[in-house]
Amino acid sequence: MQDVRAIFFDVGSTLIYPDPSVAEMFKIVARERGHAFDPARVDSFMPEVDALYDREYERNGDFWCAHESSVQIWKDMYTLLSERMGLGDDSAGISDAMYDRYLLAESWSLYPEVVGALEALAGEGYRLGIISNWDASLPNLIEGLGLKKYFDVVIPSASRGCRKPHKAIFEVALDEMGVKARHAVHVGDLPEADGAAALVGIRPLIVDRHGRHVGCGFETIRSLAGVLEAVR
């Protein structure tokens, strides 16, 4: 049986989710800036906006390795949405405002079981950390969400010059936490990124809230409430 001493977590879609969603936030920001539009059109363009991210990530996801490029991918998505909505003249202003809104803790929500799960794990003596493909603002967001007290290390890819699924970011996390891979678990929602923890000997645990990753090749749980049982 594995002697687990440290548990790392992904952030987006693992601990938190945007609330309002990107589409809803766009509607709020655009209206505040004086634009009139059909809100249903915003939703209709979201698949194209999401596809922009997917395409760029598949082409070269190393934009997550530096703060400026990590910020720019989000702004590119907001700019595309502005242009599709016929608001191209204000695309820079809208994208800047959107990015700034998502720097705020109030624009994100925790999944319902997060605090209970972290409290239980910390109470059992496990050391906790974060490994996330995110820009350098992540530590401030984690603090704003009231989660800082649970984590010994918070590692955004843009601050370390490496990203998931590359081995280097997991090696950095182990070094900063001061733990051997055989004593660590990494919890995340994407098998292709978070499962890469296995490359350095960390045990991956995939949180699969919607049953999308059955047969992914890694252990899965339906919510973070299952982490404690999985690591005991």
pLDDT tens digits for range 195-227: 999 999 999 999 999 999 999 999 999 999 999
Instruction: Give domain status of residue 78, yes or no.
Output: yes
Same domain, 119 and 206: yes
Structure token pair of residue 60: 């070269």
Looking at residue 208, what is its pLDDT? 98
CB within 8 Å of 4: residues ≥ 6 apart: 126, 183, 184, 185, 203, 231
Instruction: Give domain status of residue 1, yes or no.
Output: no
106 burial (CB, 10 Å; 0-12 / 13-18 / 19+) is: exposed
Separation between Cα atoms, residue 225 and residue 221, nearest integer Å: 8
SS3 for 133? coil
Structure token pair of residue 184: 């660590």
Instruction: Give domain status of residue 137, yes or no.
Output: yes
Structure token pair of residue 223: 């919510």
Same domain, 147 and 197: yes
Looking at residue 1, what is its pLDDT? 67
Same domain, 134 and 79: no
Q: Which residues of the chain have pLDDT under 50?
A: none
For the four alpha carbons of 127, 148, 64 and 14, in that order, the dihedral sign comes to positive
Give the CATH number, domain containing residue 149.
3.40.50.1000
Q: Which structural domain, as residue segments, surrounds residue 159?
A: 6-16+109-231
Number of domains in the chain: 2
Same domain, 114 and 94: no
pTM summary value: 0.97
